[in-house]
């Protein structure tokens, strides 16, 4: 038996807690490995798209769209609303406000934008993501850095508006 602040732990209790902690650490390591693998895969498959969105958001958007070809054929307004289907249908049935963003909301530029500018920033990110998807699918030319610079320049303009 071991003493703790509240109760006495038996050896079997300690072993159970250690096993759980070990499994949590294994899951964390697996998550890291899968995250690195996903990033490598996406940088090969969709380098421009991944450069702008980041690997997690890129994978969620591509998955939600049904593949790179489908996302490349979508207008930027649809890319912007991917993941907000429930809110969109609620709006179309006269219940609730029109959604301004879906998965794109988790993009750092959108999340960190002032509340009244989030919609505008989401449109900007979606438009560049749409161009990047088309570039990745149809031409394979890398312009991710250029698109990122254009986003940063436009963000400065948007933030000056306040």
Q: Which helix (H) or strand (E) holds 130?
A: helix 118-134
26, 15 in Cβ contact below 8 A?
no
- Give the residue carrying structure tokens 């380098």: 47
Residue 4 has pLDDT above 80, yes or no: no
Domains in the chain: boundaries:
1-45, 46-161
Which CATH fold topology does 46-161 show? Answer: Serum Albumin; Chain A, Domain 1 (1.10.246)
pTM for the complete prediction? Answer: 0.79
3-state secondary structure of 2: strand
Using only the alpha carbons of the chain, give its radius of gyration. Answer: 22
Question: pLDDT tens for residues 70-81?
Answer: 999 999 999 998
> What local confidence, expressed as pLDDT, does residue 53 receive?
95
């Amino acid at each position: 038996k071991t003493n703790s602040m509240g109760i006495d732990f038996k050896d079997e209790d300690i072993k159970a807690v250690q096993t759980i902690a070990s499994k949590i650490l294994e899951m964390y390591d697996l998550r890291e490995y899968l995250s690195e693998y996903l990033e490598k895969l996406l940088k090969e498959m969709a380098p421009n798209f991944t450069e702008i969105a980041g690997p997690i958001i890129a994978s969620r958007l591509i998955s939600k769209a049904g593949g790179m070809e489908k996302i490349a054929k979508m207008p930027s307004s649809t890319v912007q609303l991917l993941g907000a289907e429930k809110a969109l249908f609620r709006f179309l049935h006269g219940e609730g406000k029109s959604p301004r963003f879906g998965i794109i909301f988790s993009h750092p530029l959108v999340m960190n934008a002032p509340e009244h500018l989030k919609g505008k920033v989401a449109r900007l990110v979606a438009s560049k993501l749409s161009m990047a998807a088309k570039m990745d699918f149809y031409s394979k030319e890398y312009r991710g850095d250029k698109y990122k610079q254009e986003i940063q320049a436009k963000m400065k303009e948007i933030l000056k508006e306040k």
